[in-house]
Amino acid sequence: MDIFRLIMRLASSVLVLYSLAVLLRVLLTWVRGPDLGRAAEYLERLTDPYLNWFRRFEFLTIGGMDFSVVAALIVLSILSSITGQLAVSPRITFGWILAVIVGRTASSVFFFVTLFLIIAAIRVVGSFMGVDTSNRFWVVLDQLLQPIVEPAARWVSRGRVFTYQTALLVFCGTLLVVLIVGRIAVAIVVALLGSIPF
């Protein structure tokens, strides 16, 4: 049993290190600059096959945004949790595994909902303050928000058309409700799944 726990602890550590490598790879794609040499090439060879497996799923691209990296990191996080738990106790239940999957996936979704809520709230405040929206900062915010704000506002209001400012307010309110109700619902589901005895 001690060898099994040691292997699971090692597997969990490797998964955490690989998650960091994937994250570093993604961050390096955002930085344009001098050639990073052989280290960057090795990092690409190490992480790109795994990331490319997720990139082939079209449903992970929403409104021009690629969430394949998020899905890849969620899977690594789930596997790391499972192997970490197996290192502590070799007995885990199917319900516990489901609870981890639901909890980790929901945490990632709530992170992005919170991020979009903050971005939309900043845009709403800017709109009410009468800032010059031709500034590059506001243009980037609008490019990020417009593909999802107006369709979401129309869906919530059952087809009514709003001004962009009103659509932003509806979007912020919707995201706030999703966060509050979603967190409560996920906590209940995770507790129920975790209590499954098999």
77-120 tens-digit pLDDT: 999 988 988 888 777 888 888 998 999 889 888 988 898 899 89
Q: Residues 98, 195: one domain?
A: yes
Same domain, 14 and 99: no
Tell me: do 35 and 59 sit in the same domain.
yes
Domain termination site, one of 62, 91, 120: 91
pLDDT for position 115 = 87
The neighbour count for residue 105, using CB atoms within 10 Å, is 17
Is 75 in the same domain as 138?
no
Residues 166 and 197 in one domain: yes
User: What range does the domain containing 22 cover?
Assistant: 1-91
The confidence score (pLDDT) of residue 131 equals: 80
Q: Are residues 107 and 144 in the same domain?
A: yes
pLDDT in the model for residue 167: 85
pTM of this prediction exceeds 0.75: no
Task: Check residue 63 and give its pLDDT.
Answer: 63
Same domain, 194 and 98: yes
Structurally, the chain folds into a number of domains equal to 2
pLDDT for position 163: 81
**Shared-domain flag, residues 181 and 126:** yes
Same domain, 157 and 123: yes
Residues 159, 76 share a domain = no
Predicted pLDDT at 35: 66
Measure the CA–CA gap between 187 and 169, rounded to whole angstroms. Answer: 27
H helices of the chain, in order, are 2-30, 37-55, 68-88, 94-129, 136-156, 164-194
**Residue 35 φ then ψ, to 5°:** -60, 130
Domain C-terminal end among 75, 91, 107: 91
What parts of the chain have a pLDDT lower than 50?
Answer: none
The answer on 42 and 103 residing in a single domain is no
Within this chain, do residues 4 and 85 fall inside the same structural domain, yes or no? yes
Residues 6+ away with beta carbon under 8 Å from 5: 86, 87, 88, 90
